[in-house]
Amino acid sequence: EAAVTQSPRSKVAVTGGKVTLSCHQTNNHDYMYWYRQDTGHGLRLIHYSYVADSTEKGDIPDGYKASRPSQENFSLILELASLSQTAVYFCASSDYRVNQDTQYFGPGTRLLVL
């Protein structure tokens, strides 16, 4: 079974502060993703990466940066956190060469911006 972990699991941040969310996978997957989920809604893609040291913009990248320093690690950075960024953030990984590109999700990080 694929393994994706996230830290922290929850965080309270102040408006204007910097927030870094971390994701680690042990699946040897090429692709990693960051999504946000707002209460009662689906997932929206923020950033993704298919190789270390490279990231791509997803559907809602404004206000977020991403970093992929290694195949296993993928971070999401909020340089100036805002109230509207309060949400649950999910990381996922996949490998298009196996498992029909199935994405495996981490447990999520609950972010509250005050």
Partner 1 sequence: GEQVEQRPPHLSVREGDSAFITCTYTDPNSYYFFWYKQEPGASLQLLMKVFSSTEINEGQGFTVLLNKKDKRLSLNLTAAHPGDSAAYFCAVRGSALGRLHFGAGTQLIVIP
Q: Which two tokens stand for residue 32?
A: 């990693």
48 binds partner 1 (CB under 8 A): yes
Among 3, 53, 96, 114, binds partner 1 (CB under 8 A): 96
43 binds partner 1 (CB under 8 A): yes
Question: Do 16 and 30 form a contact (C-beta atoms < 8 A)?
Answer: no
Among 25, 103, 111, 113, binds partner 1 (CB under 8 A): 103
DSSP 5-48: EEE-SEEEE-TT--EEEEEEE-S--SEEEEEEE-TT--EEEEEE
109 binds partner 1 (CB under 8 A): no
Binding-residue total with partner 1 (CB under 8 A)? 21
- Where does this chain bind partner 1 (CB under 8 A)? 30-31, 40-43, 45, 48, 50, 90, 94, 96, 100-108
